[in-house]
Amino acid sequence: MGFTQRLESQPMSTKQMAAAAENEAVEDGLEILHSLSKERGWRTQHLYMYQNFWCQPQQIQAIVTLQDHFQARESDIILATIPKSGTTWLKALTFAITNRNQFEPSSKVHPLLTSNPHDLVPFLEYKLYADNQLPDLSHLPSPRTFATHIPYPSLPESIQFTPGCKIVYLCRNPLDTFVSSWHFISRNNVRAEKLTIEEAFDMFCEGVVGFGPFWEHMLGYWKTSLSRPEDVLFLKYEDMQDDIQYHTMKLAKFLGFPFSAEERKVGIVEGITNVCSFDNLKDLEVNKKGKSIADFENKTLFRKGKVGDWVNHLSPTMAEKMFWVMENKLGGSGLKFKV
């Protein structure tokens, strides 16, 4: 009997639910969990250290299958992010850019008006390869666009080494990333034991968070973008907030869909940034209901989207600790953030 069936047949406490999910992951072939280091998780009972990053047990199963079976095309687009660093925004922008010949941004039937960006650009590990699925992606038209939170070294080799396959990485300053993650997990938490913000902050600074440590995640894509700029585009949330039209044009050019002078003249760039804006997406009815990622409510995907909101949530001591971690882990790499 599957996990969902067991939930329907017998009520469980939230603590039992988390434990049952882990047990089923082992039963379904992830005996590897027994050999992995584990720590208390934010949302699930435990996180496991897999290929040098922390991961939930059910995602490990999906990642193993993905690594074994995914075959990239030269025209594929992979959107990579740390959770809560602008993923939804990047998906919306990429979809609007690559499909603008079919759907003008001002169109009243634009898919972004009736579909959540996570439905239009699916996650590899949360959607396509989740729950032991082995999807047939061969029929999808080019450019196929997928998303992932997986660190660069653990991407399928075909993504890393297929010429022409484009990777776009978006990250956000760690202070705002933590605050956004904290609110998101708090609103979606099924754990029996609720973490305090101080407990979660310490875990984040120690790197014990899904797909973390955050510095290793960032540096993997950052260093690759420096050595292979034609394959990996590295973007920062704060820079995009400062000048979204410039970065939208930069993104389009990197993906092989540059805007023509005529398109810029008639306002296509501005139209795309408007339809993909945080306020527009947040106000759409489709993003106020339903679930597009696992059991996360769509309405919890949008909170503030502001740069610097961390000052309203972190104490001076917490901020000082995070600045120390950033300098200690990222110093010397050339990767810096506006906070």
pLDDT at residue 34, as a whole number: 85
Residue 46 or residue 220, greater confidence: 220
Q: What is the mean pLDDT of residues 238-244?
A: 96
Task: Establish whether 149 is a catalytic residue.
Answer: yes
Residue 115 buriedness (CB in 10 A; 0-12 / 13-18 / 19+):
middle
CATH (residue range 73-330):
3.40.50.300
- What is the pLDDT at residue 17? 46
Name the percent of the chain lying above pLDDT 90.
66
pLDDT at position 306 is 75
- Active-site residue, selected from the candidate residues 118, 149, 217, 247: 149
| 132-177 residue pLDDT tens | 899 999 999 999 999 999 999 999 999 999 999 999 999 999 999 9
Inform me whether the pLDDT recorded for 96 exceeds 60.
yes
Residues 264 and 249: their CA atoms lie apart, in Å, by 9
| 244, amino acid identity | I
Among residues 219, 187, 214, the alpha carbon closest in space to that of 303 is found at 187
For residue 117, which of 90, 135, 137, 98 has the smallest C-alpha distance? 90
Per-residue pLDDT at 91: 96
How much is the pTM? Answer: 0.87
Quick one: how far is CA 136 from the chain centroid? 22
> What is the structure's pLDDT at 63?
95
Give residue limits of the domains in the chain.
73-330
Above 90 in pLDDT, residue 279? Answer: no
